[in-house]
Amino acid sequence: MEKMWAGRFKKELSEKVNDFNSSITVDSRMYAEDIKGSIAHATMLGATGILKASDTDKIVDGLFAVLSDIESGALEIDSTAEDIHMFVEAELTKRIGEAGKMLHTARSRNDQVALDTKLYTLVQIDEIAFLTKELIETILKLAKEHKSTIMCGYTHLQKAQPITFAEHILAYANMLMRDVTRLSDCKVRMNLSPLGSCALAGTTYCIDRQMTAKALGFDGVVANSIDGVSDRDYCIELASAISIIMMHLSRFSEEIILWNSWEFKYIELDDAYATGSSIMPQKKNPDIAELVRGKTARTYGDLITLLTMMKALPLAYNKDMQEDKEALFDSIDTVKLCLPIFSDMLSTMTVLSENMAKSAECGFINATDCADYLTKKSVPFRTAYKITGNIVAYCIDIKKTLNSLDLEEYKQFESLFENDIYEAVDMKNCVEKRTSEGAPSLKSVEKQIELVEAFLQK
Ligand code: ARG
């Protein structure tokens, strides 16, 4: 196919270079955005009198026909075309003749590609936010079922303090809530139309940028034409927001993998959400969580690709920027793949509450409560800490727990110990006494649940 820019060239582009230069296999997914953008542009050219009404009508009707033919499968996108913009324009011209050649008046592929990518990305952001909210919903449901499921909380992956399963997973709900707000934040900055920036320096035609921006649902226009064509911050911001979502899913995956191991056995993954080994008949592997953790790497890679691609580019458009879409789309596709399957994995797994409770019984996770008991009897915290440390060391030696130690033994360390120490170190009480805001007591967790519910209703 002859190139639209063939005018100043004496030779045809070599096939190899054509393949190298082409981005159609990547950007063809933006065909609907490209056509919508062109319809808005042509309508504006008609309204401002730059094009005759009859030509505008032919272009708009022709574009609608191309759109519906691509959608129905009647028109196949030519994989040898340079990009989706060239393909649509060439197809239009093939169908309507001369009028088709007027579409690109007062426009460049530079503002066109920025427009298409923004239009595509804006829709994707909504979809990612929706899927993230669905995952929050799944976590919320689990949290509601496990408000009283005692679990061991960790720091340094060492047993630390008693919590509940609800408290633990609500931490993830909070991370994901921040993710949703990050997505809508980047949408606010992204939502300005670059159309009309043209190649880089606007145009001598009296175009109406506000009109096309409004027709396409933007909040306004990019204020500077050079910025309009050379900005890719919106891709980077989204890839960064996605990387953070994936980082959260990856941390959660890591815990699922640990909890599903024989060493922990806090949960049992559903058979439909785990896989076997080709050689070891006993295996039930947490492949979904592992793959989500693994795929996090590619979203980081995509973010670094975008940042590195942009780091030394002079203004305005450079062909390097064609590489943006592969990274951006990969990152969008990856997070959209991971969010729903992760959610399904969580909602189908069995929480083994008894194992969690049993594990919480050992490891002296109520030692802080023992020290707090003495502190409340006027022993300075550091002294109470030391006494409790000595008691723990003693218990380890004689294989006892803080709950099974005799009162006489307690008294050997500090005479202030009374019978109520057993209440103080009882795991359930340890959790219930943690009533500070955001803590694991039933009341505090219920308040947290309300906050998540309010967020989801927004
Ligand atoms: N396929 C190109 C891209 O994705 C479209 C813009 C081309 N602009 C140009 N001046 N060659 O970036």
- pLDDT tens track for 325-341: 999 999 999 999 999 99
- Specify the pLDDT at position 23: 95
Q: What is the signed CA dihedral for 344, 348, 350, 356, rounded to 10 degrees? A: 20
| Mean pLDDT within 439-458 | 97
Residue 114 lies in a domain: yes
- Specify the pLDDT at position 281: 74
Average pLDDT, the chain: 96
- Name the residue with the closest Cα to ligand 1, atom 11: 319
Residue 153 lies in a domain: no
3-state secondary structure 53-118: HHHHHHHHHHHHHHHHHHHHCCCCCCCCCCCHHHHHHHHHHHHHHHHHHHCCCCCCHHHHHHHHHH
Distances (CA, A) of 345 to 136, 169, 255, 271: 13, 14, 13, 10
Other residues' Cβ atoms within 10 Å of the Cβ of residue 43? 18
Q: Do 114 and 94 have their domain in common?
A: no
Contact criterion met (CB below 8 Å) for 215 and 43:
yes
Q: Are strands 158-164 and 150-155 parallel, antiparallel or unpaired?
A: antiparallel
Q: Do 116 and 101 have their domain in common?
A: no
pLDDT class of 280 with cuts at 50, 70, 90:
confident
| Structure-model confidence comparison of residues 408 and 284, the more confident one | 408
> Which atom, in ligand 1's list, is nearest to the CA of 321?
12
Report how far ligand 1's centroid is from the alpha carbon of 435 (Å).
58
Which residue type is seen at 203? T
Distance separating alpha carbons of residues 406 and 335, to the nearest angstrom: 54
- Specify the pLDDT at position 1: 67
- Specify the pLDDT at position 104: 97
| Mean pLDDT within 247-273 | 96
Residue 7 lies in a domain: no
State percent of the chain over pLDDT 70: 100
Report how far ligand 1's centroid is from the alpha carbon of 326 (Å).
13
Q: Do 118 and 39 have their domain in common?
A: no
| Mean pLDDT within 437-443 | 96
Q: Is 112 in the pocket of ligand 1 (CB under 6 A)?
A: no
Choose one of 356, 388, 416: the last residue of a domain: 356
Residue 283 lies in a domain: yes
Report how far ligand 1's centroid is from the alpha carbon of 123 (Å).
22
Copy the structure tokens of residue 122.
């804006």
pLDDT class of 275 with cuts at 50, 70, 90:
confident
- Specify the pLDDT at position 307: 98
In terms of Cβ atoms closer than 10 Å to its own Cβ (0-12, 13-18, 19+), residue 39 is buried
41 is an active site residue: no
Other residues' Cβ atoms within 10 Å of the Cβ of residue 240? 20
Q: Do 344 and 399 have their domain in common?
A: no
**Residue 352, SS3?**
coil
Choose one of 356, 383, 400: the last residue of a domain: 356
Residue 3 lies in a domain: no
156 is an active site residue: yes
Q: Do 72 and 167 have their domain in common?
A: no
Q: Per the residue annotation, which of 156, 278, 378, 436 is the catalytic one?
A: 156
> Which atom, in ligand 1's list, is nearest to the CA of 317?
10
Q: The domain containing residue 427 runs over which residues?
A: 363-456
Choose one of 292, 324, 356: the last residue of a domain: 356
**Residue 39: closest CA among 110, 98, 124, 115:** 115
Q: Do 224 and 344 have their domain in common?
A: yes
- Name the residue with the closest Cα to ligand 1, atom 7: 109
Question: Scanning the structure block, which residue is given the tokens 């959608």?
Answer: 71
Residue 156 lies in a domain: no
Residue 320 lies in a domain: yes
- Specify the pLDDT at position 146: 98
Residue 2 lies in a domain: no
User: What digits encode the pLDDT tens for the residues 187-226?
Assistant: 999 999 999 999 999 999 999 999 999 999 999 999 999 9
pLDDT class of 4 with cuts at 50, 70, 90:
confident
Q: Structure pTM?
A: 0.94
Of 23, 109, 310, the one to substitute when testing ligand 1's pocket (max ligand atoms within 8 A of C-beta) is: 109
Mind giving me the DSSP string for 165-211?
HHHHHHHHHHHHHHHHHHHHHHHHHH-EE-TT-TTTT--SS---HHH
Q: Do 72 and 200 have their domain in common?
A: no
Q: Per the residue annotation, which of 68, 261, 277, 404 is the catalytic one?
A: 277
Q: Cα angle vertex 71, ends 69, 77, to 5°?
A: 70
| Mean pLDDT within 24-41 | 98
- Specify the pLDDT at position 282: 79
Q: Do 374 and 349 have their domain in common?
A: no
Which residue type is seen at 108? S
Report how far ligand 1's centroid is from the alpha carbon of 108 (Å).
9
User: What digits encode the pLDDT tens for the residues 291-311?
Assistant: 999 999 999 999 999 999 999
Report how far ligand 1's centroid is from the alpha carbon of 109 (Å).
6
Q: Is 235 in the pocket of ligand 1 (CB under 6 A)?
A: no
Of 30, 34, 83, 229, the one to substitute when testing ligand 1's pocket (max ligand atoms within 8 A of C-beta) is: 83
Q: Is 113 in the pocket of ligand 1 (CB under 6 A)?
A: yes
